[in-house]
Structure 1
Amino acid sequence: MLGPTLISIFILLFIIFLARNNAIMPCGIKKAFIFTAITILTIVVSDQIGLSVEGTGGVTAYLLCYFGNTMSKMLSPLPPVVFNYYSEKDFFVKKKKLLIPIAIYEVLCLINLRYPLIFGVHSEHTVYYREFLLPVVTLVSAYSFVVFLYGQVRRNYDLDKYDMSYLSIVYSLMFFGTAVQMLFPSIMILWCCVSLATLMYYMFIQDLDFRTDVVTGMKNRNVFKLRMHQVEKERNIILVSFDLNDLKKVNDNLGHAVGDEYLRASAKTIQKQLKPFGRLYRIGGDEFCLLSINSNKYFLQKKLDELVKRSKCDSEYGEYGFSMAFGAAERRPGEELLECLKRADKRMYDNKAWQKSQISMNYTNAV
């Protein structure tokens, strides 16, 4: 079936083109997509070589059929491995044991060249046939995909329900291709589905970058606006506005690079402490907002009171001081969310003014 092969090749070349010309995407992720696409492309071409010479007869056809099928079988579990390797260089340094099943499988493929255990090719008519260990190809490829998922989870992407729904479609597409290939071997759409899923995953990562603040890792103002629209009909909503007190001072005295680290450490500290109550968004330079749905307002208030008393960020984010003002507002019956946000902002600015007055009073008393 040449059609799915041509579609796969077009999609994979398109991924390589997009990744090579993406000036925003991190270099490691770009390389991950490029070399993963090249790996899948090699599998697709090898598969097609094996299919194109099958049944033609002759030594050359026999060798090409064996070569094509061997290459495709050996490379089948590798695309997820390649992606994890380039997207997170130290992943397999720390998790070498995860590669053992794949390494054993690769050795088995080499043994198959001499003793057909996975597949064979009749030399007289160049006819491909299956052996009893052929299901191992699917099992090891599935294992490799699980390793890929584990590697991506370790990257701690800040995902919402929309992201999870999109990813479930991507993964379902790969499972669908695998299932069809196993149930109907003559319908060879597996790598076409994998190619399409890879393109969809590329689009997802790119979109995630556009929706994520590069300094703090929080979702940005655009996502906040979208989420506000999505939850407009919810009743039990609390909005908490935050403003970091010392960002300008840090930028002026220590430089913007340190200022960015301070900003990130402060945002991560707030998100970590308030994670049970909702999601934190960066909506301005040093301003953030927590969107909390169906949370216990008394527990939230207690946590906010504890947070405002902190003098340092969580140590895991660096040794930085911590100082912020906040204002919380619970949505009133029939109130527009934007009005609720305005009340939270006003209370935050009132809190900031009060903090400054306290500092001024303390300074006066000291003099």
Structure 2
Amino acid sequence: MSARKAQMFGLAVVLTMMMIAAEGLSDLFATLGREYAVAASVSNALGFAFSPSIGLALAAMFRTDDRQRMILLTIPLLPNALLALSSPLTGLIFSVSDQNVYTRGPVFWVFAITYIYTIAIFIWVNIREVRRLRIREHHMLMMLCAIILIGTSLQVAFPQVRTAWVCVALVEIMYYIYLREIDFLYDPVTETRNRSAFERQLPNMAVHQTVGVIVFDVFRFKQINDQFGHPEGDHCLKMVARAIEDGFAQTGECYRTGGDEYTVLAPSVNEAQIHEALKRTLAALKQLRQQTPALPRISYGYRIYNRDNGDNILTVIEEADAQMYAYKNMQGFGALA
């Protein structure tokens, strides 16, 4: 997990702990009699004012380059915060009587809508990341979104049912585990699946009747780094990865299996389908090269694993790799694209 993600996640956890404490204190003060009415009112004000910010803190973990948009998304939280902090005097969001009796105020709906708004932002950002990274492991994420929606909705509808913060705390723990799993499976530079994901997937591939194994190598990548610097080299690696993913989007899954190497695993394909996917990949690279002339060429090789022939998937990968290097050494028009 990057430092920025860890920072925002830590902020969300701290805010959650503060909100749990505020809710617990407000419940405690409510049982201690009228002399604690002011304390109950203050703890409620803090809870209503700052609890919606948790959803945005979690959402801000992603796409940190889009800070201006995140600031704009924060603006709707301000009216709720002002109304909540002034409620001990105005009773707009809530009120606590001199007898220490809590009641919802006439504009409590402002808090409810603001809270749901930030949860919706959190869900939207995660769905966008799933689509952008083409993450298949999204079922757990959908379950977490359902838990937080159900838990908070129950407490909004039935104030005596304290489910919101239990669900939020549970979701944060499971969300952290989910993010660590994604970090383990995805390469941070190219945002494709990494070698760990590749090795994890290999046993699953062996059960298919056929599996296309396509190996790519970025030609003379070291020269790109030496001439233009590592940031430009990383940019080129990312563009090559995107071209391969676009070309094989309907056919297989791309993995970064080495510093400048990619492997596609394409179950249940034939040679014609591989050729079509390669054409799409090369066309995408050609188009990208018009924008970035320094984009390096690639060499590739492929083999098809056939279970009925008694093939070994590891041997097939080695054969595809050997073909790729043979084409690379040819340095001809048919070898490099």
TM-score range (shorter-chain normalised) is 0.7 to 0.9
Gaps of 5+ in 2: none
State the TM-score, normalized to the length of structure 2.
0.83
Q: 1:105 aligns with which of 65, 69, 80?
A: 80
Determine the C-alpha separation between the residues in 1 that align with 2:280 and 2:101: 73
Report whether the alignment pairs 1:80 with 2:68. Answer: no
- CA 90–244 in structure 1, closer or farther in 2 if over 3 Å, else same: closer
**1:115 is the counterpart of 2:90:** yes
Q: Secondary structure at the match of 1:277?
A: coil
| Matched-pair contact (CA < 8 Å) for 2:52–2:118 | yes
> Which one of the candidate residues 9, 13, 21 is aligned to 1:33?
9
User: Which of 314, 330, 334 does residue 357 from structure 1 map onto?
Assistant: 330
> Retained in 2: the 8 A contact 1:84–1:152?
yes
Name the residue aligned to 1:346: 319
SS at match of 2:161: coil
3-state DSSP class of the match of 2:133?
coil
Give 1:210's aligned residue. Answer: 184
CA separation of 1:57 and 1:154: change in aligned 2, threshold 3 A: same
- Work out whether residues 325 and 349 of structure 1, in 8 Å CA contact, stay in contact via their aligned partners in 2: no
- C-alpha change, 1:230 and 1:351, in structure 2 (3 Å) is closer
Contact map agreement 1:73 1:137 (CA 8 A) in 2: yes
Structure 1: gaps spanning 5 or more residues = 1-24, 361-367
Secondary structure in structure 1 of the residue aligned to 2:46: helix
Mapped contact 1:216–1:263 kept (Cα < 8 A):
yes
Distance 1:273 1:310, change over 3 A: closer
Aligned length: 333
Work out the CA distance in 1 between the residues paired with 2:117 and 2:173: 21
Q: Secondary structure at the match of 2:301?
A: strand
Calculate the aligned-residue CA RMSD, in Å.
3.3
User: Within 5 A, what are the aligned runs for 1:182-201?
Assistant: 182=156, 184-201=158-175
CA shift digits 1:159-196 (9 cap, x unpaired): 543x2122123223213322442455333132122012
In the alignment, which residue of structure 2 is the partner of 1:8? none
- In 2, the alpha carbon distance for the partners of 1:311 and 1:177 equals 47
Q: Which moved more, 1:295-304 or 1:134-143?
A: 295-304
Of the three residues 248, 259, 263, the one matched with 1:285 is 259
Maintained 8 Å contact 2:255/2:262 = yes
The range that moved more, 29-38 or 248-257, is 248-257
Q: Secondary structure at the match of 2:308?
A: coil
Which amino acid in 1 is paired with 2:296? Answer: F
Q: Is the 8 A contact 1:211 1:223 kept in 2?
A: yes
| Change in 2 beyond 3 A, CA 1:200/1:356 | same
Alpha-carbon distance in 1 for matches of 2:329, 2:94: 76
**Distance verdict in 2 for CA 1:192–1:159, change over 3 Å:** farther
Task: Judge which range, 205-214 or 110-119, deviates more.
Answer: 110-119
TM-score scaled by length of structure 1: 0.77
Q: Could you tell me how far apart the structure 2 residues matched to 1:158 and 1:317 are?
A: 23
Aligned AA (1:42): M
* Shift of residue 154, structure 1, vs aligned partner: 4.6
Q: Distance in 2 between matches of 1:142 and 1:79?
A: 11
Q: Is the 8 A contact 1:313 1:321 kept in 2?
A: no
